[in-house]
Amino acid sequence: MKCMMVSRIDDKKALLYTASLGDALKKSGNEVLFETETAHALQRPGSTFTEARPDIAIIIGGDGTILRTVQNMALQVPVIGINWGEVGFLTDLEPEEAEDVLTTISDGFLVEPRMRLSFFVGDSYIGDALNEVLIVTSRPAKMLKFGVIVDGILSERFRSDGLLVSTPTGSTAYAMSAGGPIIDPRIEGALLVPLAPYMLSSRPHFISSDRSLEIRLESAKPASLVIDGQKSMDLGCEASITVKKSEIPALFVDVGRNFFEKVDQKLRRL
């Protein structure tokens, strides 16, 4: 099995663990490579995903490390996360069990596709999100006005501090903190969660991925759009944002952990 090791680089203990785990996997007969930034921090030879074409990406860090890695992949590779963060909803393994599990699956593993959402502003593609897109005002304490168009029909207009457009995978992230439901990641759709809406009647909506979805920013205040907390762009005061199911899902290694059992265990840490 060709393994690409990726670590959060702001934590020396995580880097040392990544190096140690990589060496252990190499001794057990796997081909081990280190992603460029991780390799630079460890002062080892490195490679990009495009150059290496690994069978699996082993990511040591929190959800942010996983989101950043998935964003940077030109071609999606199955990922497995080892939790080196606070909660790590996207991670499946703890450091003390990782070597045994990875050795067990080295002869083959199942892969679970995770739907991503593609976002367009006007006719311009701006990126895919595994967790969510956040639309917020560029000026603190100012509200934005949104219109939601489903299948060409204006279904709702509301004012709020911002709007989250989340995947089911992202339903356990910012969307959950903002009052949204936890959604089975096998269901495909877009979760819309208004942030601090002016009217209490403005509630989260979950919209099937086979419907057309457009969000219109109709505000006197400028807004910004942030994808998975990794990259952002200015929208100005008016914009038309189209949301579609991405043609390229993220790929997660399935180690047989029940999603709802994992969520229950993670929530107990909060």
Q: Which residues are catalytic?
A: 63
For residue 137, give Cα distances in angstroms to 52, 166, 197, 238, 248. 40, 18, 13, 12, 30
For residue 229, give Cα distances in angstroms to 73, 97, 133, 226. 16, 29, 8, 6
- Residues 42-78, buried b or exposed e (16+ Cβ, 10 A)? beeebeebeebebbbbbbbbbbbbbbbbbbebeebbb
The phi-psi region of residue 203 (left if phi > 0; otherwise alpha if psi is between -120 and 50; otherwise beta) is beta
Neighbours of 236 (CB within 10 A): 13
Give me 106's structure tokens. Answer: 């080295």
Helix, strand, coil percent values for the chain (each to nearest 5): 25, 40, 35
Task: Report the Cα 232 to chain-centroid distance in Å.
Answer: 15
Strands of 210-254, DSSP E: 213-227, 231-245, 250-254
149 in Cβ contact with 214 (< 8 Å): yes
